[in-house]
Structure 1
Amino acid sequence: MLIVIGNLQQSFENIGRESFRLYPWSILAVILYFPLGVYLGVPGLVKEYQKNGSWKFNWLKIIFISLPLIYFSFFWFIPASYPIPDFIVGSHSTFKLAMLASGIVFMNSITKENSG
């Protein structure tokens, strides 16, 4: 999966360089890491599936962890965004890691709880 994502990312970056258009290619190159995070969160969902109870979605995890991570991944593309200090950003890999973590948090926010 990493090889496919790496190849797609390289293709998107090449298209962006050749066409002199960063939008949408740079965004797509970062979004590719969300499905990888979802994939890494699947074992936790399988564990939850084996439990008894009803499905619950933890909205607080999504709002306070996943959405800020997604914002962090794309703050450089939002013109009116609050600037994030350079020492936090580091390199473009931090955007990818934030997207990956967002996918994992999204999957871990789906749980089963006993009703009763």
Structure 2
Amino acid sequence: MIARYTRQEMGRLWEPENRFRKWLDVEIAACEAWTDLGRIPKKSLEVIKEKAGFDVARIDEIEAVVKHDVIAFLTSVAEKVGPDSRYVHKGLTSSDIVDTAQSLLMKEAAGIII
């Protein structure tokens, strides 16, 4: 987005930090669903929810090597979560995360516009 034409509130919505936050929200929601189905131990979900985070600069660093934004994001999250990160992204594709998060962001953007 061109900064001089962007409302501050809308610009913040589309910043990488917020986009990755939505990705993490989707990943955690999926982990919660898997836990409800008995596929992820409750203790592991607690660890994931407690420790899950990311670092945008680290994601950029990893992406420069792996050339894949979601793998870079997941690697950054795994560095924070530790062994229980094996449950993050379980049964999901990159598109599941990116498209779902994009829909959430578009809903928020519509709220700003309308």
TM-score by length of 2: 0.36
Greater fraction strand: 1
TM-score of the two chains, using structure 1 as the length reference = 0.35
Tell which structure's C-alpha radius of gyration is larger.
1
Which one scores higher on RCO, CA 8 angstroms, separation ≥ 6? 1
